[in-house]
Structure 1
């Protein structure tokens, strides 16, 4: 059965490191140990297993929220197609999974959209390929993909598929490795030892006239400060410490609720014993309340005492909201995308500025994504024998992040003038004020809202 890429990442990437990967490739590679550690860290964060998570501190899944919000904003009104029906059919099938795979690519810094022959395709994220070299535009000129297959209990086969250029033309080569240890890539073997790979030409095979890669490569428009390479950086890397603080603050808030449960302090003899753990304790939530117990003790001994502390959840929640707003600012989201929009104490101008900030970041992502899709379509045309034939690729994005807000606001102004929307509702919605504050700021009856 296939292990997918789980073993590839945890075994090859994490345990082998740069030196072994360099030996597999046969030359220096761009992917450094620092990037391997960083990508693994981002992967763990997205899986809710960041370094700081414990039994006490749980992930709030902020990383997922960031990637999902950006992906939705990027793709919400994207329209794309290919003029050749045969290509368009394969393309439309591929982009069905674009949103979820873009989320993963945003989180891990990059992804590859790669044709598999003439009729299929696959998404490959940064934890599943080896960048060997890049051109000046940050696109791969040499890259390796690994696929792992386990046969039986102890036989592991790894196929290394390399795409690079020879004299300016695309060249593809395949190698196969066999090992009986999941943490060791093992020795070179014949591709025919694996039935599914028996028909693959080991190559190298060069394709004259194909002067670009046969896949699309997406990279986040973020400067790489991990190792300075052209490898992609996670969209939430700049907010890593803030996400840790938010997760910790969330744990404090949870503890405030749990520790604040009303309970009756009782004599040890009143505690229940768990049948499985044999530990003494008391029930949770509504079952924690006790009316009384018949216990033997002196008349001066207080057997029962109510515990009902004052809740401080409002202060903890304000702290959490503050961290969320700082995260929004750091990653380029608008205020209210992660935080509670009702608690965003910002002026209308500041809110609009945050929308513009998000618009700029989304636009940069869309530009990179469009380049990726164009290159994917070229690869698709190559595998369908249409690379040099006439085909057109259309891809448009809508800038609704800003324009829709202005349209909606103008409509609300009209509704206020018509009397179908109150001034109070308008202020609460567009000035982010609570009801009390909005009431104080309402215009006089003879004033007209501008």
Structure 2
């Protein structure tokens, strides 16, 4: 799969578009940007031609630190699991939450990510994460939502032949159609010719085309798009969280390469007269030679006879100052708290700067947390639809208010202090205890029936007096 999809910017795009008979709606600028985000993510080795060293792995550092902050105290649950339907939905929730770190990381890298529901043979449901560079977006609605897309599920080598299963999903008027096609090629870089699905036994049970008889949301996938506006071409395509900092990341990689060269070239060397060095021809067996990167030969004259140690002063402090300046610029661009990437003690900071960066960081984390909460609600709604379509669950209506999600304390929001304040308001008679409990446990409290349910569960003595 990777060999085919990673070539999307060239022949891979053309092969898939030709096979589908439709052009991908992502612009050339976006294709190149997507490729650059994933290249930056996977870069590991120095490049002498470009003069860069990605040893800092900044894309990974940015994404990893953001994800840890988002889910540090995350927890989700269903208020009730007293029916078979709710028990099944609770299993769906747990399976979806198991993908949260992987899905959010790939979403941050590629700007968008899709999470696919996969019914299991035992009546459950799993979820599979689909990266942006593994997807062709063929159509979007007026609101930017994807209405037509294609993915390459697998690439299988069998008897020196390469098989690629391509899946196309189209949502029209609320009804989802899935098409499956299998292609055979003698090269992993080409799609090749179409062959019957039953050419491989694992695909024999797939239908060439299938339309669900009941409405399914979108293209039958959970879609997560990063909240920032597109800074590449202004299209509805999502952009990587580190897209605004790509130039700075490149500069830091150059700085690291130059710093490495500074240490390499600045180490002690011995300047010796040429007669002390071995000839450049291959040495005879048993003959010792001096290492050329330590000993440097000069012309044999009266002023250059003998050996002299040479070790220039390193300029590492200059490179370090430049690195810290770049890292702080990245933190400013991405709304990351000062010290997450840079050295917090490198320079003195005012209280205003500390508060400002912490505030921006907290707001950024809240945006991502809302993204995941919305995606979890979308996943449960989609699972309910697909579960009923495949008879994995009964037709009992799904109530989204059954889901509860907690995030713990944030930089700008202290849940413990808020709870203390609400208890004081209850003691002063300014707030009903039911309302405070509804906030504490994220319970509905709009109707008298909601309040009665809270009293029954958390205030049994008061509930008994009302009877």
Q: Name which of 376, 379, 400 aligns with 2:410.
A: 400
**What corresponds to 1:302 in structure 2?**
305
**What corresponds to 1:242 in structure 2?**
248
Q: Name which of 50, 55, 62 aligns with 2:58.
A: 62
Q: CA deviation at 1:223?
A: 1.3
**What corresponds to 1:390 in structure 2?**
398
The CA deviation string for residues 124-155 of structure 1, in whole angstroms up to 9 with x for no partner, is 11011122223344332222221232333542
Q: Does 1:15 align with 2:6?
A: no
User: Where does structure 1 lack aligned partners over 5 or more consecutive residues?
Assistant: 290-296, 408-450
* Contact 1:176–1:191 (CA under 8 A) maintained in structure 2: yes
**What corresponds to 2:158 in structure 1?**
152
**What corresponds to 2:350 in structure 1?**
347
The CA deviation string for residues 261-308 of structure 1, in whole angstroms up to 9 with x for no partner, is 223323446558999999976398xxx69xxxxxxx887643111112
* Contact 1:131–1:231 (CA under 8 A) maintained in structure 2: no
* Contact 1:17–1:33 (CA under 8 A) maintained in structure 2: no
**What corresponds to 1:81 in structure 2?**
77
Match of 1:66, SS state, is helix
**What corresponds to 2:319 in structure 1?**
316
Q: Name which of 28, 32, 51 aligns with 2:27.
A: 32
User: Where does structure 2 lack aligned partners over 5 or more consecutive residues?
Assistant: 418-467
Q: Name which of 38, 42, 47 aligns with 1:43.
A: 38
Q: CA deviation at 1:165?
A: 2.1
The CA deviation string for residues 199-257 of structure 1, in whole angstroms up to 9 with x for no partner, is 11222322323344432111111211323322211111111111111111122222222
Q: Are the structure 2 counterparts of residues 329 and 29 from structure 1 closer, same or farther at C-alpha, using a change threshold of 3 Å?
A: same
Q: Are the structure 2 counterparts of residues 69 and 269 from structure 1 closer, same or farther at C-alpha, using a change threshold of 3 Å?
A: farther
Q: Are the structure 2 counterparts of residues 315 and 132 from structure 1 closer, same or farther at C-alpha, using a change threshold of 3 Å?
A: same
Q: CA deviation at 1:197?
A: 0.8
**What corresponds to 1:293 in structure 2?**
none
Q: In 2, distance between residues paired with 1:276 and 1:51?
A: 30
The CA deviation string for residues 347-368 of structure 1, in whole angstroms up to 9 with x for no partner, is 1111210111112222222222
Q: Name which of 105, 108, 117 aligns with 2:107.
A: 105
* Contact 1:80–1:396 (CA under 8 A) maintained in structure 2: yes
Q: CA deviation at 1:177?
A: 2.0
Q: In 2, distance between residues paired with 1:317 and 1:113?
A: 41
TM-score (norm 2): 0.75
Q: Are the structure 2 counterparts of residues 166 and 138 from structure 1 closer, same or farther at C-alpha, using a change threshold of 3 Å?
A: closer
Q: Are the structure 2 counterparts of residues 283 and 298 from structure 1 closer, same or farther at C-alpha, using a change threshold of 3 Å?
A: closer
Q: In 2, distance between residues paired with 1:159 and 1:51?
A: 35
Match of 1:342, SS state, is coil
The CA deviation string for residues 20-54 of structure 1, in whole angstroms up to 9 with x for no partner, is 43333333432233222211111110111699774
Aligned residues: 392
Match of 1:367, SS state, is helix
Q: Does 1:141 align with 2:147?
A: yes
Between 1:314-323 and 1:342-351, the stretch displaced more is: 342-351
Q: CA deviation at 1:67?
A: 0.9
Between 1:129-138 and 1:273-282, the stretch displaced more is: 273-282
Match of 2:220, SS state, is coil
* Contact 1:141–1:213 (CA under 8 A) maintained in structure 2: yes
Q: In 2, distance between residues paired with 1:360 and 1:165?
A: 34
Q: In 1, distance between residues paired with 2:308 and 2:26?
A: 62
* Contact 2:273–2:304 (CA under 8 A) maintained in structure 1: no
Q: Name which of 180, 194, 198 aligns with 1:192.
A: 198
Q: Are the structure 2 counterparts of residues 140 and 272 from structure 1 closer, same or farther at C-alpha, using a change threshold of 3 Å?
A: farther
**What corresponds to 2:459 in structure 1?**
none
- CA-based RMSD of the aligned residues comes to 3.3
TM-score (norm 1): 0.77
Q: Name which of 161, 168, 176 aligns with 1:170.
A: 176
Q: CA deviation at 1:105?
A: 1.8
Match of 1:395, SS state, is strand
Q: Does 1:266 align with 2:272?
A: yes
**What corresponds to 2:444 in structure 1?**
none
Q: In 2, distance between residues paired with 1:314 and 1:25?
A: 56
1:121-136 correspondence to structure 2 within 5 Å: 121-136=127-142
* Contact 1:78–1:398 (CA under 8 A) maintained in structure 2: yes
Q: In 2, distance between residues paired with 1:304 and 1:338?
A: 45
Q: Are the structure 2 counterparts of residues 327 and 171 from structure 1 closer, same or farther at C-alpha, using a change threshold of 3 Å?
A: same
* Contact 2:408–2:415 (CA under 8 A) maintained in structure 1: no
Q: Are the structure 2 counterparts of residues 344 and 65 from structure 1 closer, same or farther at C-alpha, using a change threshold of 3 Å?
A: farther
Q: Does 1:206 align with 2:209?
A: no
Q: In 2, distance between residues paired with 1:277 and 1:6?
A: 47
Q: In 2, distance between residues paired with 1:21 and 1:32?
A: 15
Match of 1:162, SS state, is strand
